[in-house]
Amino acid sequence: MGTFLADIRHAFQRHKSLAEGAMSQVDDEAFFRRAGEAVNSIAIIVKHLGGNLLSRWTDFLTTDGEKTTRNRDGEFVIQPQDSRADLMQEWEAGWAALFQTLDKLQTSDLNKKVAIRGEPHTVEQALMRGLTHVAYHTGQITYLSRLWNPSGKLLTIAPGQSSSHKPVYRKA
């Protein structure tokens, strides 16, 4: 796997870990709680990301990233049968599709064309689009976790602790 692909995989993994760390700090009630009518809950974000990742990264090089089997609108509705465990299974299935695809990609694939909703992208553009989408929703999950559990463990550098933080970077 080339450096770009390894870096992208690492970034996706960091966002997955950050989101899961935040989710681990909320109980089921907070997981499903909405801050307002037009605000997604953590559960909805998990359902949406699971569906998005599964659609985008399954048969990535050969089919449109928006699969005809995907019900995107349904991802934003929590049904009575949607348990936290079931939603987390959907989350894991989506991430598994992504990581399986990343593990198969080669540097020579980066300039190939793929479609997302009929719009052409290079593989590199599709990877960046996917990463920014995941980052956006990771931020929402971490914010909601902090909102519902303000005394929870900080997952980033604590305010006032920047000067004592010793970063650990991946070797280039």
Domain containing residue 119: CATH number: 1.20.120.450
Q: Is residue 142 part of a domain?
A: yes
**Residue 169 is assigned to a structural domain of this protein:** no
77: left (phi over 0), alpha (psi -120 to 50) or beta: beta
Q: Show the low-confidence residues of the chain (pLDDT under 50).
A: none
Residue 164 lies in a domain: no
Q: Is residue 41 situated within a structural domain?
A: yes
- For residue 163, being part of any structural domain is answered with no
The answer to the question of residue 102 being in a domain is yes
Q: Encoding tokens for residue 154?
A: 């900080």
Q: Are 47 and 87 in contact (CB under 8 A)?
A: yes
Phi and psi for 76 in degrees, rounded to 5?
-100, 15
Q: Is residue 83 part of a domain?
A: yes
Q: How many domains does the chain have?
A: 1
Structure tokens, 85: 């465990």
Q: Residue 121 forms beta bridges with which residues? A: 114
The pLDDT of residue 64: 95
* Residue 168 covered by a domain: no
Give the residue numbers spanning the domain of 115.
3-154
pTM of the model: 0.92
CA dihedral 154, 157, 158, 160 (to 10 degrees): 180
DSSP H or E stretch at residue 121: strand 119-122
